[in-house]
């Protein structure tokens, strides 16, 4: 088992610790909703706890931390191009919203079309 990474032989304590951390972060993100936090504070806290949880799952549970750099790069870099997709779709979504606002508003639409909203 020479090539099986050292990570496989970590004490169980490591996993229990990460497990506990994930519980705490999940509880925190639930509290964000429970306490009705709104606006930027809500969104940044949701993202913060999400990335912390995702990071710990990938790094420790999936043993990515102990893999070689070549594998890390091959798996973690390609998803970055999804950021382009997300960015493009955000711009597009914004534009569609504005278009619907002008084209389907009660003043702009002919009678009878307004209550259907955007189709």
Partner 1 sequence: MHTPMAVEVPTHPIESSGAVAGLPGVSADFAADKQAFPVPWGKAMMWIFLLSDTFIFTCFLTAYMHVRMSTTVPWPNPSEVFALSLGGEPIPLILIAIMTFILISSSGTMAMAVNYGYRRNRARTASLMLVTAGFGATFVGMQAFEWTKLIVDEGIRPWGNPLGAEQFGASFFMITGFHGMHVSAGVVYLVIVALKVWRGDYERAGGNYEIVEIAGLYWHFVDLVWVFIFAFFYLW
As a whole number of angstroms, the distance between CA 93 and CA 97 comes to: 6
Residue with tokens 């702009």: 108
Q: How far is the CB of 76 from partner 1 (least distance, A)?
A: 9
Binding partner 1 by CB under 8 A: which of 41, 44, 108, 118?
A: 118
Spatial separation of the C-alpha atoms in residues 55 and 50, rounded to whole Å: 8
Inter-residue contact 88 to 27 (CB < 8 Å): no
- 8 DSSP 8-state letter: G
Q: How far is the CB of 111 from partner 1 (least distance, A)?
A: 18
| Distance, CA of 61 to CA of 56 (rounded, Å) | 7
The yes or no reply on residue 63 touching partner 1 (CB under 8 A) is yes
Residues that bind partner 1 (CB under 8 A): 1-5, 8-10, 12, 15-16, 18-19, 22-23, 26, 29-30, 32-34, 42-43, 46-47, 49-50, 53-54, 57-58, 60-63, 67-68, 70-71, 74-75, 78-79, 82, 85-86, 89-90, 92-94, 96-97, 100-101, 104, 117-118
């Amino acid at each position: 088992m020479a090539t099986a990474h050292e990570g496989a032989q970590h004490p169980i304590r490591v996993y229990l610790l990460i497990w506990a951390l994930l519980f705490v972060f999940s509880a925190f993100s639930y509290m964000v909703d429970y306490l009705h936090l709104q606006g930027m504070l809500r969104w940044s806290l949701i993202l913060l706890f999400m990335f912390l949880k995702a990071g710990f799952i990938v790094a420790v549970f999936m043993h990515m931390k102990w893999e070689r750099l070549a594998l890390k790069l091959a798996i973690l870099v390609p998803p970055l191009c999804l950021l382009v997709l997300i960015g493009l779709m955000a711009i597009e979504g914004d534009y569609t919203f504005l278009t619907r606002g002008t084209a389907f508003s009660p003043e702009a639409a002919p009678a009878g079309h307004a209550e259907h909203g955007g189709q």
